[in-house]
Amino acid sequence: MASPLNNTTTSDQEMADLERHDYVERVQWVLNTPKLPGLSQELIGTAVSWRNKVPFLNMQSGLKHELFSMLKATFPILSWCQNYNPNQFKHDLLAGLTLASLCIPQSIGYATLAKLDPQYGLYTSVVPPLIYTLMGTSREIAIGPVAVISLLLSSMVQKLEDPMANPIAYHKLVLTVTFFAGTFQAAFGLFRSGFLIDFLSHAAIVGFMAGAAIVIGLQQLKGLLGITHFTNKTDVVSVLKVVWSSFQHPWNPYNFLLGCSFLIFILITRFLGRKNKKLFWLPAIAPLVSVVLATLIVFLTKADKHGVDIVKHIKGGLNPSSVDQLQFNGPHVGELAKIGLIVAIIALTEAIAVGRSFAAIKGYHLDGNKEMVAMGFMNIIGSFTSCYVATGSFSRTAVNFSAGCETAMSNIVMAVTVFISLELLTKLLYYTPVAILASIILSALPGLIDVNEACNIWKVDKLDFLACIGAFLGVLFATVEIGLLVAVTISFAKIIVVSIRPGTETLGKLPETDAFGDVNQYPMAVKTPGVLIMRLKSALLCFANANFVRERIMKWVIEEEKDSKLRNAEKTIQIVILDISNLMDIDTSGIASLEELHKNFDSNGMKLAIANPRWQVIHKLKLANFVTKIGGRVFLSIGEAMASFSI
């Protein structure tokens, strides 16, 4: 008869064998993964996703239904107009009229900032808003010319053609840039490449906008001071030199007094509007009231005879066709395409940021790809109808939202109102002083400078702040392009540094849990004697960072060995468990670095184990026979690896 002691020993052995069998079986879950989809399958999957997203490619249901689905996908107005009611139109009508009162003077001012005749700003506030209403998904965004895009165009296109010496040729180049910008925007949306606009990080945009606002403000000193000879350069040093030299000659103060007076008036109305939400209409109509009053003052006092600069003739009527003015065969086509790409990205970044901000407040989703397509087609068609690059304006969108707009119909009301003004009111603007347009632009600039956000960026991420300040100083002291280049370069450098110098962390078991955490983050985490658990803090182990990671791991192992000897620990390191749960992909250089680690550990009497590998990573490790080389020590989790070695 067997003794109880023998029975107990046999039972323990059976339990250990059962546990070992379970671990072996779970290891097979990791190793026997399905085959990864090949390149052809990935392409087929993309085609299928496109088939599902574009209704007319999926012809399983009736043709009529599919055709209507296609039209609704292309023109979202068909979806929301079905339930449109008179009460919504009442709100949209009020919002559209309020929007037009702000849009008309701003559009004229932004056209002069872009070094175009005033009517082109009004043209840009007619056709693009109508096209966007048909194709866009935002309910609040107000479409038209904006200050930053106007500055971009004037600063870059004037290097190819002088707007003062040859305004017709300059205008043709601006129209061509608009066509290229629209083409790029539409392509981004159609090919779902919106990630490209993310190369301009939030921090870079904050710095760029602030720098552009100051540059735009300095440019308005020409109109505010009545300076006749002004520099074409945009940097602060060149502009201040011109301003300083102008004070050394006799100058007329009437422009300055008129412009500053109405600038103060506009800023006061804005302050009152912010204090009392019911007075939202006051800052909205203040620019138009300023234009009307200033024009009357100049007309009645004959101030234009005493040195006050006026707009003079503004060509009215419907947008003329400009298809024959696009320049595709000239010597500057490549440069125009490059400018178009830059302008397209900046315009999309501003518009989508504005649209998403207000969509979040209203609680609905903004389709980024549809927005890109809508912006693209409105600028392509705009280039055919004498418009320059249009996008979403933050200041006008805020007015549209405050005025209680319900749908994009407010853009249609605004466009119709601007068109009526083009037909009937342009002659009345003959005596409008240029200083008023400068004051209107200046009043819109404080919204582009976000000091609080810059401070938050500094607190959260110093490298992000470096991109922010780089863009700001680049725009301010060099050119707009250099500012953008500096911001993008710093952002890319940040990505590269993070990629090639990923961190590693030593893990320990958290008391009374099955979880493992970084011992620096969780000082209470307990290390297991003889076992070193490390985790890679990188999504990619490749040629760029493989050697750095290998050296970092070896350094940690050597330091742990020294610490063990200093503590006279019973066990030095026998097992190194590498948690690669963060690792999404690996290349041959990464695999080679792991093999070298294994050889170094093996020669020093240590074993290497892998925990929690991802699908693509374990697939490549098997193809490279790395799993066999380390004796199949691949586990589902750190806990599984620890338990396996303890059996």
Please report the pLDDT score of residue 360 as a whole number.
Answer: 80
Rg value, the chain, Cα: 33
Going by C-beta distance under 8 Å and a sequence separation of 6 or more, which residues neighbour residue 12? none
Please report the pLDDT score of residue 61 as a whole number.
Answer: 47
As a whole number of angstroms, the distance between CA 178 and CA 344 comes to 9
Crossing angle (nearest 10°) for helices 434-444 and 202-219: 160
pLDDT-derived band of residue 21, with 50, 70 and 90 as boundaries?
low
Token duo for residue 469? 């300040």
pLDDT tens column, 563-616: 777 766 556 788 999 999 999 999 999 999 999 999 999 998 899 999 999 988
Please report the pLDDT score of residue 1 as a whole number.
Answer: 46
As a whole number of angstroms, the distance between CA 453 and CA 410 comes to 31
503: Cα within 13 Å, side-chain hemisphere: 6
pLDDT tens column, 399-438: 999 899 999 999 999 999 999 999 999 999 999 999 999 9
For the chain, report the end-to-end CA distance as a whole number of angstroms. Answer: 29
Please compute the mean of the pLDDT values over residues 292-299 and round it to a whole number.
95
Would you mind telling me the total number of residues written for the chain in this entry? 647
As a whole number of angstroms, the distance between CA 254 and CA 225 comes to 8
pLDDT-derived band of residue 54, with 50, 70 and 90 as boundaries?
very low
Sort 46 into a burial class: Cβ within 10 Å, 0-12 / 13-18 / 19+: exposed
Q: Domains of the chain: which residue ranges?
A: 90-492, 502-645
- Decide which of 3.40.640.10, 3.40.30.10, 3.40.190.10, 3.30.750.24 is the CATH code for 502-645: 3.30.750.24
In this structure, the number of other CB atoms found within 10 A of the CB of residue 415 comes to 25
pLDDT-derived band of residue 523, with 50, 70 and 90 as boundaries?
very high
Please report the pLDDT score of residue 56 as a whole number.
Answer: 44
Q: DSSP letter for 532, please.
A: E
pLDDT tens column, 448-463: 899 999 999 999 999 8
Please report the pLDDT score of residue 5 as a whole number.
Answer: 45
Q: Which H or E run contains 358? A: helix 333-362
What's CA 362's distance to the chain center, in Å? 21
Q: Which residues pair with 608 in a beta bridge?
A: 576
**Three state DSSP letters for 126-137:** CHHHHHHHHHCC
CA torsion angle for 491, 496, 498, 503 (degrees, to 10)? -170
Please report the pLDDT score of residue 162 as a whole number.
Answer: 92
Please report the pLDDT score of residue 454 as a whole number.
Answer: 94
pLDDT tens column, 197-224: 766 788 988 999 999 999 999 989 889 8
pLDDT-derived band of residue 48, with 50, 70 and 90 as boundaries?
very low
Please report the pLDDT score of residue 200 as a whole number.
Answer: 75
Please report the pLDDT score of residue 71 as a whole number.
Answer: 83
How far is residue 357 from each of residues 138, 353, 389, 460, measured CA to CA in Å?
10, 6, 22, 21
Token duo for residue 276? 């009392």
As a whole number of angstroms, the distance between CA 94 and CA 281 comes to 10
Please report the pLDDT score of residue 46 as a whole number.
Answer: 42
* Backbone φ and ψ of 221, nearest 5°: -65, -25
Least confident of 38-52, 82-96, 113-127: 38-52
As a whole number of angstroms, the distance between CA 70 and CA 158 comes to 42
pLDDT-derived band of residue 14, with 50, 70 and 90 as boundaries?
low
Please compute the mean of the pLDDT values over residues 29-40 and round it to a whole number.
70
Task: Answer whether residue 518 shows pLDDT above 50.
Answer: yes
Q: Could you tell me the pTM of the whole model?
A: 0.81
- The SS3 assignment for 385 reads coil
| Per-chain mean pLDDT for the chain | 87
pLDDT tens column, 243-286: 888 877 767 789 999 999 999 999 999 999 989 888 888 999 99
Crossing angle (nearest 10°) for helices 254-275 and 281-301: 160
Please compute the mean of the pLDDT values over residues 627-634 and round it to a whole number.
92
Token duo for residue 74? 């292309």
Task: Answer whether residue 476 shows pLDDT above 80.
Answer: yes
